[in-house]
């Protein structure tokens, strides 16, 4: 059995009055949903997504297909609600996170993403972004037209290309990797990414603090820098893993760690 330590926080930020983010912290599923639409009910869309994921958390055996099916289904529910209630038109949400799923009798991390919230992996002093942003600037970076630094100030940096609440529902990115004792995952909305650079995240995650202390430090950094958007953070540390991973690393469903975050459709 995988044993984890989890810390989390969410804040409206220093500019916005409404917090449209929802944080999901269950026994198997840990995620962030970043609602869109302002008073058109981005908070409702993110909460609907949180409820859909939490409904899976009690499953004795959680499969990767369960996550994809739940997200596709809730995307349809959000889209139909926005269609039926004109005041909700335009509501939607991003979602990203990780879940302990079962493949071939062994537990894996299932890392999932729709939109531009992110999952990072930290182990042995190295921070790696696991997810690929579904955004205009990410496509420009991939095409070599702008740099990562330029993307942070690009006028289209807030335009996403995939979200829940659309017709048809979006494709869900999903990667599977085996858990490793001592590793940490950072799940966050773009409100953190906008204020704190990756190298700073790595410094905090490598400081030896508990998961909650790392969350508190990252949140303080974002707020002190003006937090122009809602900020949601989850830090997960793997304390222990099953001793026997024989056969897991060779699974065809497992993506090697050095390929995390590099695949595109």
Residue 224 has φ and ψ, to the nearest 5°, of: -65, -20
Token readout for 188 is 């966050």
pTM, to two decimals: 0.89
E strand or H helix at 224, and its extent?
helix 211-224
64 phi, psi to nearest 5 deg:
-55, -40
Supply the pLDDT for residue 16. Answer: 94
Question: Which helix (H) or strand (E) is 93 found in, with range?
Answer: strand 92-103
pLDDT of residue 39: 67
Contacts (Cβ under 8 Å, ≥6 apart) of 254: 103, 108, 176, 177, 178, 248
* pLDDT confidence of residue 243: 61
CATH number of 3-241: 3.60.40.10
Residue ranges for the chain with pLDDT beneath 50: 244-265
Spatial distance between the Cα atoms of 246 and 248, rounded to a whole number of angstroms: 6
Query: How much is the pLDDT for 256?
Result: 38
């Amino acid at each position: 059995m995988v044993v984890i330590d989890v810390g989390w926080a969410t804040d409206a930020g220093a500019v916005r009055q409404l917090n449209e983010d929802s944080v999901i912290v269950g026994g198997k599923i840990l995620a962030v949903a970043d609602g869109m639409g302002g008073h058109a009910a981005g908070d409702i869309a993110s909460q609907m997504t949180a409820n859909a994921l939490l409904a899976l958390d009690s499953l004795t055996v959680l499969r990767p297909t369960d996550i994809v099916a739940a997200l596709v289904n809730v995307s349809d529910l959000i889209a139909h609600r926005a269609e039926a209630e004109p005041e909700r038109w335009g509501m939607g949400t991003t979602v990203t996170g990780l879940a302990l799923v079962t493949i071939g009798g062994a537990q894996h991390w299932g890392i999932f993403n729709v939109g531009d919230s992110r999952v990072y992996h930290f182990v042995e002093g190295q921070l790696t972004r696991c997810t690929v942003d579904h955004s205009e600037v990410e496509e420009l970076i991939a095409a070599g037209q702008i740099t990562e630094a330029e993307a942070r100030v690009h006028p289209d940096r807030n335009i996403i290309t995939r979200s829940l609440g659309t017709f048809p529902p979006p494709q869900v990115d999903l990667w599977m990797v085996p858990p490793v004792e001592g590793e940490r995952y950072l799940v966050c909305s773009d409100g953190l990414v906008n204020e704190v650079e990756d190298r700073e995240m790595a410094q905090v995650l490598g400081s030896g603090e508990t998961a909650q202390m790392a969350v508190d430090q990252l949140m303080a950094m974002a707020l002190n820098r003006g937090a122009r958007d809602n900020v949601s953070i989850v830090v997960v540390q793997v304390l222990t893993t099953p001793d026997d991973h024989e056969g897991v690393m060779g699974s065809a469903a497992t993506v090697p760690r050095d390929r995390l975050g590099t695949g595109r459709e």
